[in-house]
Structure 1
Amino acid sequence: MVELLDRSPRADGGEPLPELTGDSAKGSEMMVTHNHLPRLAEADFIVWDQETDEVAKGPRFEEIRPLLELIDSHAGELPEEWI
């Protein structure tokens, strides 16, 4: 979701989800799609179009902006799987 910090949602719904690569990509993709995205959407932090896999800022996105900015500014210090 850190990617949404620098992007404004497009008028047609949002930004496509980034492609996941590497050995853990399949497990990561399943975790994001089946766990994280539904929870973030339910909390109104994001708007997620499941058919197109597009994500946009939700009505409550600004509430989590400080946390995402902190994570983004310390990305090099955090474990890769946290980002």
Structure 2
Amino acid sequence: MSQKQSSRSSLDAVLDVLTDRHRRRLLVALLEHDSQTRSNVQIPDDIIVGDEELERLHVQMYHVHLPKLEAAGLVEWDRTTNEVQRGPQFETVRPLLDPIRDQVDDVLEE
């Protein structure tokens, strides 16, 4: 695979990760945390309607969102403590996350 194809493939993978608002919210929350500190990033209250949705979101985070973010190298996730911190590839998406953070109300909603 050429370097150009590899770069395109990497960009596609990053954009795929950013398609879900819950993953975007988590990554934006990690922008605010020191990369040297393990932080337990909370699920924002404004996206939760009820206990059933909260449970579904936790299941999705555990089985879909966090594994996808971890596989992309964007987060490191300790499954024992449920702590999340920036992963080794986090800085590669920072240029995409900064504008999202600046327009949080418009960009994070579906």
Asked if Structure 1 and Structure 2 have the same fold, meaning a TM-score greater than 0.5 normalized by the shorter chain, the answer is yes
Which range, TM-score by smaller chain? 0.7 to 0.9
Partner of 2:85: 56
Q: 2:66 aligned with 1:37, yes or no?
A: yes
Partner of 1:3: 29
Root-mean-square deviation (CA, aligned residues, Å) is: 1.9
The offset of 1:60, in angstroms, is 0.5
Structure 2: gaps spanning 5 or more residues: 1-26
- Structure holding more strand per residue: 1
Provide the TM-score with structure 2 as the length reference: 0.61
Partner of 1:69: 98
- Structure holding more helix per residue: 2
**Post-superposition, which runs of at least 4 consecutive aligned residues in structure 1 deviate over 3 A?**
19-22
Count of equivalent residues: 78
Q: 2:40 aligned with 1:16, yes or no?
A: yes
